[in-house]
């Protein structure tokens, strides 16, 4: 298997550092980084902007055909447009996180985003992060990493990040939101958050970003070698 055609799945709970690590790997290897959480966040944003409640499953499903998402990659960066407008930071608020988690429980929403993700996967040379990448989106990915850390570590990281952005939250609020989201993501019936049986589970509480990136690139090199000798 040629290194540059590998497909890399990075799954795990929120705040595990998936996107930072995946972006780091993409920068080092020239792979395309696909942030699938951003797609669910964008569907959530649409609902929030149209006054559809996060718990109104029927309303969300009914509105789905009107959601027009466009994905582009500009200078290695994923740009998502809702209609014609780039969503930018609007999908990064706590409200958007809550909505994303709520919409992601609904099978029609997952179905709606499936082909977009699979067609990116087919090109190879991708590192994709999410919750069900190794289990549903790319079950045949050559590299599968389940990146995680304790809820407290993840809350601490997210708290620092939010404060840096000037968002006014407390550590306790962030921790509570993370625990609630973990529960929602892992207990849902469809595509629950769980490691693929053939994934490497990596607890990164004690590792910095550079070490995580090196770990993933190492796994990619190994996968390319393994596939060559088969």
- What residue ranges bind ligand DC (CB under 6 A)? 14, 36-37, 40-41, 100-101, 104, 130-133, 181, 185
Determine contact, residues 18/148, Cβ cutoff 8 Å: no
Cβ closer to ligand DC: 3 or 14? 14
Cβ closer to ligand DC: 209 or 225? 209
Cβ closer to ligand DC: 130 or 195? 130
Report the nearest approach of ligand DC to the CB of residue 41 (Å).
Answer: 5
Report the nearest approach of ligand DC to the CB of residue 19 (Å).
Answer: 7
- 94 is written with which tokens? 């706590």
Report the nearest approach of ligand DC to the CB of residue 161 (Å).
Answer: 12
Q: Three-class SS string for 113-164?
A: HHHHHHHHHHCCCEEEEECCHHHHHCCCCCEEEEEECCHHHHHHHHHHHHHH
Report the nearest approach of ligand DC to the CB of residue 186 (Å).
Answer: 10
C-alpha distance from residue 104 to each of 37, 96, 186, 215 (Å): 9, 12, 11, 29
Cβ closer to ligand DC: 1 or 179? 179
C-alpha distance from residue 158 to each of 45, 114, 161 (Å): 20, 28, 5
Sheet holding 32-35, edge to edge: 32-35, 126-130, 7-11, 143-148, 200-203
Cβ closer to ligand DC: 14 or 162? 14
- Rounded Cα–Cα distance for residues 9 and 191 (Å): 15
Hey, is 11 helix, strand or coil?
strand
Distance of CA 40 to the CA centre of its chain: 9
Cβ closer to ligand DC: 2 or 77? 77
Report the nearest approach of ligand DC to the CB of residue 181 (Å).
Answer: 5
Report the nearest approach of ligand DC to the CB of residue 104 (Å).
Answer: 3
């Amino acid at each position: 298997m040629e290194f540059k055609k590998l497909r890399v799945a990075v799954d795990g709970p929120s705040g595990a550092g998936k996107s930072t690590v995946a972006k780091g790997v993409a920068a080092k290897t020239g792979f395309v980084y696909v942030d699938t959480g951003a797609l669910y966040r964008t569907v959530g944003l649409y609902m929030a902007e149209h006054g559809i409640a996060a718990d109104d499953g029927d309303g969300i499903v009914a509105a789905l055909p009107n959601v027009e998402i466009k994905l582009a990659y500009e200078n290695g960066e994923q740009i998502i447009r809702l209609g014609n407008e780039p969503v930018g930071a609007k999908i990064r608020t706590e409200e958007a996180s809550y909505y994303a988690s709520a919409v992601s429980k609904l099978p029609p929403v997952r179905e709606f985003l499936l082909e977009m993700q699979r067609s990116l996967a087919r090109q190879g040379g991708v590192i994709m992060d999410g919750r069900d990448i190794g289990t549903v989106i790319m079950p045949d990915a050559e590299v599968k990493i389940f990146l995680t850390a304790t809820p407290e570590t993840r809350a601490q990281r997210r708290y620092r990040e939010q404060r840096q952005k000037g968002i006014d939250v407390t550590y306790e609020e962030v921790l509570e939101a993370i625990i609630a989201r973990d529960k929602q993501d892992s207990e849902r019936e469809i595509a629950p958050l769980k490691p693929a049986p053939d994934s490497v589970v990596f607890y990164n509480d004690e590792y910095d970003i550079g070490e995580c990136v090196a770990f993933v690139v190492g796994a990619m090199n190994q996968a390319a070698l393994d596939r060559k000798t088969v």
